[in-house]
Amino acid sequence: MRAAAAADSARAIAFQGSPGANSHRAATEARPDALPLPCFSFEDALDAVKDGRAGEAIIPIENSQHGRVADIHFLLPESGLRIVAEYFMPINHALMAVGANAPGRTFEAAYSHPQALGQSRHFLRARGIVPLSHADTAGAAAYVAERGDPTIAAIAPAIAAELYGLEIIERNVEDSADNMTRFVILAREPITPEALAGKPVMTTFIFEVKNIPAALYKALGGFATNGVNMTKLESYQHGTSFAASAFYADIIGAPGDQAVDRALEECAFHSKELRILGSYAQARPRG
């Protein structure tokens, strides 16, 4: 995969994880003609785009069961890349291990990415299986195959069992049947307004409010008065002072629309910083 991506970097799409991970699947589904480029960490995937080794990167940002992906609020702004698309993917996990599936077979522990473990926590607890974190789901499957220990298992996409020579013990071990992860695709340059014309559009941005009373209330007021629908608002601490919070937000619409421009201008007036991470076509309707 790395050799193919290196030979045609403009077509490469970087993802975090080993071959067979959920992000690998998302990359091939969202960009069927692209060349998947596996990377060890989210930072490595973003750096591949910044360094020109890939044209795009696909990163999970939130899951319907387990919430936001850790650190993504810091990584996206720091990368300097722009969000150019989003992709929603249903998530199905399988429990896999070395050796044949047998009735009543038990395991001491299961390895997987923390997101997958969180999405399967009720399943694991009911069976007394200890969850152990790994860098990614498919990497956990490779590790279990390498260990060859029949008392440990991995939680990963079913394709990982085939790739790493494991047996699927149980399918669909996620705790919710409607388990869904939202991914964003990032590139060095933003999408032009002309390319988004006539399409339902999302805009993602971050802002840090001033450390004064009612700063957040005032910063958000412009979205209400201008009729701009905010579909996501999450707070996080930026720096060590804990004096004021930063926020990650999604709205329907894009700069260039008068209502959006007025709302963003008012938000910026009451903020220390406001930075747009990207405007892109909706992958599924909101509102």
Count other C-beta atoms under 10 Å from residue 240's C-beta: 6
Which of 166 and 77 is assigned the larger pLDDT? Answer: 166
Identify whether the C-beta of residue 110 lies closer than 8 Å to the C-beta of residue 130: yes
Q: Let me know if 107 is a catalytic residue.
A: no
pLDDT band at 73 (very low <50, low <70, confident <90, very high): confident
pLDDT(200) > 80: yes
Q: What number of CA atoms fall less than 13 Å from residue 190's CA on the CB side? A: 16
Tell me the three state secondary structure of residue 59.
strand
pLDDT higher than threshold 70 for residue 239: no
User: Cα 285 vs. chain centroid, distance in angstroms?
Assistant: 19
**CA angle, corner 52, sides to 51 and 57, nearest 5?**
90
Q: How far apart are the first and last CA of the chain?
A: 39
Helix runs in the chain, H state only: 2-7, 22-30, 42-50, 72-79, 114-119, 121-126, 137-147, 158-164, 193-196, 215-225, 258-269
Q: How confident is the model at residue 242 (pLDDT cuts 50, 70, 90)?
A: low
Rounded mean pLDDT of 196-215? Answer: 93
Flag the least confident range among 122-126, 145-149, 176-180.
Answer: 176-180
DSSP secondary structure letter of residue 197: T
Which two tokens mark 83?
Answer: 């969000």
What is the average pLDDT across 218-232?
A: 97
Residue 62, Cβ density class (10 Å: 0-12 exposed, 13-18 middle, ≥19 buried): middle
- Examine the pLDDT at 241 and tell me if it is beyond 80: no
What is the rounded distance in angstroms from the CA atom of residue 170 to the CA atom of residue 189? 43
Q: pLDDT averaged over the chain?
A: 94
Beta partners for 111? 132, 154
Structural domains in the chain, sorted by start: 2-90+180-187 (3.40.190.10), 94-171 (3.40.190.10), 193-281 (3.30.70.260)
Which residue(s) pair with 274 in the sheet?
207
Out of 15, 107, 123, 181, the active site residue is: 181
Say if CB 175 and CB 122 are below 8 A apart: yes
**Annotated catalytic residue 240:** no
Distance in angstroms (rounded) separating the CA atoms of residues 52 and 43: 14
User: Which of helix, strand or coil describes residue 28?
Assistant: helix
Both tokens of residue 283? 């992958």
Amino acid at 42: F
C-alpha–C-alpha distance, residues 241 and 248, integer Å: 19
- Measured CA to CA, the distance from residue 192 to residue 226 in angstroms comes to 24
Q: Please give the pLDDT value at position 99.
A: 93
Over the stretch 128-155, which tens digit does the pLDDT of each residue have? 999 999 988 999 999 999 999 999 999 9
Over residues 214-243, the mean pLDDT reads: 89
Report the pLDDT value the prediction gives residue 264, as an integer from 0 to 100.
98
- Name the nearest CA neighbour of 271 among 190, 210, 188, 185: 210
What is the tens place of the pLDDT at every residue in 11-58?
A: 999 999 999 999 999 999 999 999 999 999 999 999 999 999 999 999
164 vs 135 pLDDT, higher one:
164
- Rounded to 5 degrees, φ, ψ at 191 are -75, 140
- Residue tagged 């696909």 (tokens): 58
Q: Which of 15, 42, 107, 183 is catalytic?
A: 183
